[in-house]
Structure 1
Amino acid sequence: MPELDVRGATSVITGAASGMGAEVARQLAARGARIALVDRNPEGLDAVAATLAGEGHTRHVVDLADDAAVERLADDIAARHPRVQTLITCAGSSMLGSIDQLTMAEMRWLMDVNLWGTVNITRALLPALRREPAAHVTHLVSIYGLAAPAGRIPYAMSKFAVRGFTEALRHELEGSTVTVGAIYPAGVKTGIILHGRVAAALDPAIARRAAEAQARMYHTEPEDAARRIVAATVGRRPRTMVGREARLVDVLARLAPAGYWRVMRGPLREATDTTTPLQDS
């Protein structure tokens, strides 16, 4: 399959105010793409927009869980960008807490952000993407869409669901001009775990301990992850692992689909512990 020529075409990037979304925007702009930056954080969007090479970029402040707002966003992007070639969904959040600590409202909130926000923007932009001779949708999933750890139930649920949506959509669009791919990052230093939400019933100090333990396991720089995401998007690849841990987890989940947690439990013990009280110093 021939690679996309992004010069002069538009890439819509959600979660573009920080982290991987911001780095992907910079790297695509450097290749000559026009960027539609999408996020809930206007100050962050302004800061990222100021760093983009080239011209014709736009910023869009929107809550992707708001159906009406997303429809207006799609109309706005289509009006301001005649060639929408790629959609890259980097928006997402995390949630710490065990099933006994979480409320249904907290779990539904994360599903709205991670799953329904992804579905919403993809569905809304498909008409514009279909007008291109060749277009691609890239969804960021997670290694926790390959293997589900304890202490991350809503996050794993949302990412397994995004994986399912991505694969089913790829099959639905077979034979069309739009291809679909999934990215499975592991351990990218974006701060998502340190700034994500925690269950209200969870002791904040315990949550901080778990989040910091998880963050210590992150080794991939956002710039390096963004290079893999951009390459996968331009190359229209269906499945891309980012980071050594992602490749290992992918193999482990295939070899031991019912037993992978026995291997993962030890390394993730502190990062998934949201119940053990802190020791007095």
Structure 2
Amino acid sequence: MTSQIRLLDRTAVITGAAGGIGRAIAESLARRGCNLALADIDAKGLEVTARTMAASGVRVSTHRLDVSDAEAIAALPAQVLASHPGVDLLFNNAGVALGGSFEDVSERDFDWLLSINLQGVVRMTRAFLPLLRRSDDARLVNLSSLFGLIAPPGQTAYAASKFAVRGFSESLRHELAGSSVGVTVVHPGGVNTAIARNARIHANASPQEIERSRVLFQRALTMPPQVAGEIIVRAVERRRARILVGRDARIAATLERLAPISHWRLLERISKSKASRRPPATRSGRPARTGA
């Protein structure tokens, strides 16, 4: 194998491709001449992504898919092969968010999140691994999260799923060592996608609490998805086993390694220090003028 993966004329399957990081990954791959099989539950968003890719001249197929549906996933490889000669890359990107403490979140909602964020990854991997093995140079890319490195309060379900994706990916990497299939796990930090706006909040939350949670979460999502997508694809090209996307992910990974128990207190101090340095807001929401 060469030191860098050649993406020209390869085929990549991407879940969650209707927007956000999934669409950005598709754009970065298309610029490199990689053909695309785009999957998402959002059919309209998929068509927008597909139209965006059309100018690149690559082969694009779209597949409406609910990654919590085991039968739909099992049927997907045959559908992809109807449009493409094979599969060389699989990006398990689809995911959802759920806010609330463990005691507030219902078992039904907890299981709903795991069915998408974890079982979707496992089932997609099981379905497509035989096709990836047929490739002479394949890559499985699983999207974990900043919350697959650290686990803040109010994110028990999401953190559980993303730590599990991390563990699944790292174990599978060892199992596939020496084969033509490499495994990459990605930990994006605050990427500006719709995940906060679309997140479920526990049933006991008031409308005010829901809005406050979404606003606070959205403020932390600052990196444009196009930047994140390019970082991910560039690192996949270089066969990186682990990708930390954003300064926040790099800081969290370092603190967790240095202080595996007390890192959350350190992060809270950093957050409070940043907040205290922000200019006070006026009633309009704009920073107030300070100084002369």
- Normalising by the residue count of structure 2, what TM-score does the alignment of the two structures yield? 0.89
Instruction: Give the aligned residue type for 1:95.
Output: L
Aligned-partner Cα distance in 2 for 1:236–1:203: 46
Q: Does 2:105 correspond to 1:105?
A: no
**Secondary structure at 1:192 match in 2:** coil
**Secondary structure at 1:3 match in 2:** coil
Match of 1:194 in 2: 197
Aligned-partner Cα distance in 1 for 2:218–2:267: 16
Q: Is the 8 A contact 1:214 1:268 kept in 2?
A: no
Kindly, what percent of the aligned residue pairs are identical? 40
Match of 1:30 in 2: 31
Aligned residue pairs total 269
Q: Does 2:98 correspond to 1:95?
A: yes
Runs of 4+ in 1 over 6 A off after TM superposition: none
**Aligned pair partner of 1:250 in 249, 253, 259:** 253
**Aligned pair partner of 2:188 in 161, 185, 203:** 185
Match of 1:19 in 2: 20
Aligned-partner Cα distance in 2 for 1:82–1:204: 50
Q: Does 2:137 correspond to 1:137?
A: no
Aligned-partner Cα distance in 1 for 2:10–2:32: 10
Match of 1:277 in 2: none
| Residue 268 (structure 1) shift | 6.2
Instruction: Give the aligned residue type for 1:41.
Output: D
**Secondary structure at 2:184 match in 1:** strand
Instruction: Give the aligned residue type for 2:34.
Output: A
Instruction: Give the aligned residue type for 2:168.
Output: F
Aligned-partner Cα distance in 1 for 2:15–2:271: 29
**Aligned pair partner of 2:237 in 234, 237, 256:** 234
**Secondary structure at 1:193 match in 2:** coil
Match of 1:122 in 2: 125
Match of 2:266 in 1: 263
Q: Does 2:82 correspond to 1:76?
A: no
Aligned-partner Cα distance in 2 for 1:152–1:268: 17
Q: Is the 8 A contact 1:17 1:48 kept in 2?
A: yes
Point out where structure 1 has 5 or more consecutive residues left out of the alignment.
270-281
Q: Does 2:143 correspond to 1:150?
A: no
Match of 2:278 in 1: none
| Residue 191 (structure 1) shift | 2.1
**Secondary structure at 2:192 match in 1:** coil
Comparing 211-220 and 29-38, the one that deviates more: 211-220
**Aligned pair partner of 1:210 in 200, 209, 213:** 213
| Residue 24 (structure 1) shift | 0.8
Instruction: Give the aligned residue type for 2:128.
Output: L
| Residue 79 (structure 1) shift | 3.2
**Secondary structure at 1:80 match in 2:** coil
Instruction: Give the aligned residue type for 1:97.
Output: G
| Residue 204 (structure 1) shift | 2.7
Instruction: Give the aligned residue type for 1:140.
Output: L
- Normalising by the residue count of structure 1, what TM-score does the alignment of the two structures yield? 0.93
Point out where structure 2 has 5 or more consecutive residues left out of the alignment.
273-292
Q: Does 2:153 correspond to 1:159?
A: no
| Residue 267 (structure 1) shift | 5.8
Instruction: Give the aligned residue type for 1:9.
Output: R
**Aligned pair partner of 2:65 in 62, 67, 87:** 62
Instruction: Give the aligned residue type for 1:229.
Output: I
